[in-house]
RNA sequence: GGUCCCUUCGUCUAUCGGUUAGGACACAUGGUUUUCAUCCAUGAAAGAGGGGUUCGAUUCCCCUAGGGACCGCCA
């Protein structure tokens, strides 16, 4: 058997959504699992809607999630001549014919079918009509002479055998009246030329496969294997589209979801390997197979994405985490000042424990990043006379300290609690508010030691 | 409307004829704790319905119901 080759073939007519990302991931994983190649093909033949910015968004997205294509990306629009050639061969060999129906005529037929509530299927009017009857003023389209009798079976690697009546497949257009090829022609010519062995794509392409298989057979090309994976649904149970909320990668990256977490989540959405939940990139390549793909569509679950992200935040190397955090802050929040780098880095151990996302870490570390504390009036009300006294007592005590560590601070705070006849909250909350401007956040000792004695004094000594 | 596909806890799923139907997320309760969290423990939670086949069906077959996809001179 020839070397395994898969491809991901998006059209750059909108931002790639995570269903597409998952399809790409599965293709890539399958290829790598088989020591094969994974190609990226940009299907940019819709000149109206294809945009360079979307092409960039697609390649950026794949890069972000860690899916790398082998070789250069294949640009479909550059291969149009090849597609047309195949259409002409099909025509010569009698597998296709010219159809002289006008657009209006077809539209009318469709309308009538809709009114009668019967399915529209092109009536194959020109399938056997002699060319001599052709009107002079109409540019014909080329239609494929689809099988009328019998059944076809698709041996799908995920869905099993799918059987369909040939008569339900119409004589589809392969060349438009402007001479340009259509999707079903282009896709299978490209797949053939690229030596793609396994076509793994969304379930929504299943009917197309019956059309494309006929072209392969007519051209006497070796048929690739097909695997149609169930679509990802929204929480409402509908096919995910580009317009849906939380559907593109950016929707996730902007709230601080990390690529390895989303990769792992997407991998396990609709695919399983026993009870294993966490897969490194290497493990996923090693374990991936088509047998593990489920047959039913799966719904997106944000809480699971969050929890996966939390897992990676807590388990990845802190240098790596810092790099991702600093990158995230620069793009979506504010750049971490150079002089704060080391401080944030060394505080990551406690900052990350309270975070599900990079955004959470950023929020938790704002008090380090910004020297000026932003208070909200509600919190400030909690700083009453009592609290002010505790703060000033605290200031007096710490001024005596030469080592500003948890070991030294703990007895000091305990003493303060006793002295003021209060509990930990009574001391901790005012300090936390004055130091960070928030009632929530890291542990008070972590706040104190991460800020350092001088900064703590500076922030408390305001009265 | 036609064709095709799907159906195990709320969600993602395990099971490949014999299990107290397992895990993860979410949820609930309790504990640890320094706020918010984390962490630990415990709990509740599922085979759509009906027929077969079989000694035995979640698992195989059929029907019904529900859900989905496709039905472009888009890809």
Contact status, residue A289 vs residue A37, Cβ threshold 8 Å: no
Q: Could you please report the per-residue DSSP string of A332-349? A: HS-PPPGGGHHHHHHHHH
For A61 and B31, how far is CA from C1' in angstroms? 44
Whether any strand B atom is under 7 angstroms from the Cβ of A63: the reply reads no
Nearest partner of A142 among A175, A120, A111, judged by Cα = A175
Whether any strand B atom is under 7 angstroms from the Cβ of A205: the reply reads yes
- Residues of A (225-284) placing their beta carbon closer than 7 angstroms to any atom of strand B are 230-231, 233, 237-239, 268-272, 274-275, 277
Q: Does the CA dihedral A27-A33-A34-A35 come out positive or negative?
A: positive
Please report how the helices A358-369 and A341-351 are oriented relative to each other, as an axis angle in degrees rounded to 10: 130
User: What is the predicted pLDDT for the residue at A1?
Assistant: 57
- d(CA A75, CA A67) in angstroms, rounded, equals 18
| A310 class by beta-carbon count within 10 Å (0-12 exposed, 13-18 middle, 19+ buried) | middle
For A117 and B70, how far is CA from C1' in angstroms? 17
For A402 and B2, how far is CA from C1' in angstroms? 84
Nucleotides of B under 7 A from a protein CB: 1-8, 10-15, 22-27, 34-38, 67-75
User: What is the predicted pLDDT for the residue at A247?
Assistant: 86
Strands A225-229 and A198-202: parallel
In A9-123, at which residue ranges do the beta strands (DSSP E only) sit? 37-42, 74-75, 96-99
User: What is the predicted pLDDT for the residue at A463?
Assistant: 53
- d(CA A361, CA A359) in angstroms, rounded, equals 5
Please identify which residue in the block is written with the tokens 């909690």. Answer: A382
pLDDT means per 10 residues, chain A with 463 residues, are 91 94 98 98 94 96 97 97 98 96 88 80 90 90 96 95 94 96 97 98 96 98 97 90 85 96 97 96 97 96 96 96 97 96 94 95 94 83 85 89 86 87 87 90 93 90 68
| A58 class by beta-carbon count within 10 Å (0-12 exposed, 13-18 middle, 19+ buried) | buried
- d(CA A80, CA A181) in angstroms, rounded, equals 7
For A94 and B52, how far is CA from C1' in angstroms? 49
Which nt is closest to the CA of A122, judged by C1'? Answer: B71
CA A324 to chain centre: 17
No. of helices (H) and no. of strands (E), chain A: 19, 12
Which nt is closest to the CA of A233, judged by C1'? Answer: B68
User: A237: phi > 0 → left, psi -120 to 50 → alpha, else beta; which?
Assistant: left
Which nt is closest to the CA of A296, judged by C1'? Answer: B6
């Amino acid at each position: 058997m020839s070397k395994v080759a898969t491809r991901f073939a998006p059209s750059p007519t909108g931002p790639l959504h995570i269903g597409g990302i998952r399809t790409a991931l599965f293709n890539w994983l399958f290829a790598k699992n088989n020591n094969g190649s994974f190609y990226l093909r940009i299907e940019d033949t819709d000149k109206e809607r294809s945009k360079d910015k979307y092409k960039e968004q697609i390649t950026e997205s794949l890069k972000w999630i860690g899916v790398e294509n082998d070789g250069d990306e294949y640009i479909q629009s550059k291969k149009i001549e090849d597609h047309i050639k195949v259409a002409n061969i099909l025509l010569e060999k009698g597998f296709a014919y010219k159809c002289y129906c006008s657009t209006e005529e077809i539209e009318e037929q469709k309308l009538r079918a809709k009114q009668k509530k019967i399915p529209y299927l092109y009536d194959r009017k020109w399938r056997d009509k002699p060319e001599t009857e052709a009107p002079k003023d109409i540019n014909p389209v080329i239609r494929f002479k689809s099988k009328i009798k019998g059944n076809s079976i698709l041996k799908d690697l995920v869905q099993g055998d799918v059987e369909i009546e040939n008569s339900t497949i119409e004589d589809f257009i392969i060349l438009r009246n402007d001479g340009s090829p259509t999707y079903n022609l282009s896709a299978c010519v490209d797949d053939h030329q690229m030596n793609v062995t396994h076509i793994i794509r969304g379930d929504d392409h299943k009917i197309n496969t019956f059309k494309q298989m006929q072209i392969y057979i007519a051209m006497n090309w070796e048929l690739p294997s097909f695997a149609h994976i169930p679509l990802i649904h929204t929480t409402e149970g509908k096919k995910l589209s580009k317009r849906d909320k939380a559907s593109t990668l950016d929707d996730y990256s902007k709230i601080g979801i990390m690529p390895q977490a989303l990769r792992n989540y997407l991998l396990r959405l609709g695919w399983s390997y026993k009870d294993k939940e966490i897969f490194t990139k290497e493990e996923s390549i090693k374990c991936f197979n088509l047998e593990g793909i489920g047959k039913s569509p799966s719904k997106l679950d944000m809480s699971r994405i969050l929890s996966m992200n939390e897992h990676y935040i807590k388990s990845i190397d802190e240098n790596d985490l810092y790099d991702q955090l600093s990158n995230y802050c620069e793009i979506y929040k504010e750049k971490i000042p150079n002089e704060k780098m080391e401080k944030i880095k060394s505080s990551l151990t406690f900052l990350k424990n309270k975070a599900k996302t990079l955004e959470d870490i950023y929020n938790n570390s704002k008090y380090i990043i910004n020297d000026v504390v932003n208070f909200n009036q509600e919190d400030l009300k909690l700083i009453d006379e009592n609290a002010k006294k505790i703060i000033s007592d605290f200031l007096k005590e710490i001024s005596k300290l030469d080592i500003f560590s948890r070991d030294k601070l703990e007895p000091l705070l305990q003493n303060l609690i006793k002295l003021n006849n209060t509990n930990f909250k009574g001391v901790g909350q005012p300090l936390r508010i004055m130091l960070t401007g928030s009632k929530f956040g890291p542990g008070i000792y972590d706040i104190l030691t991460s800020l350092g004695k001088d900064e703590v004094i500076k922030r408390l000594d305001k009265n």
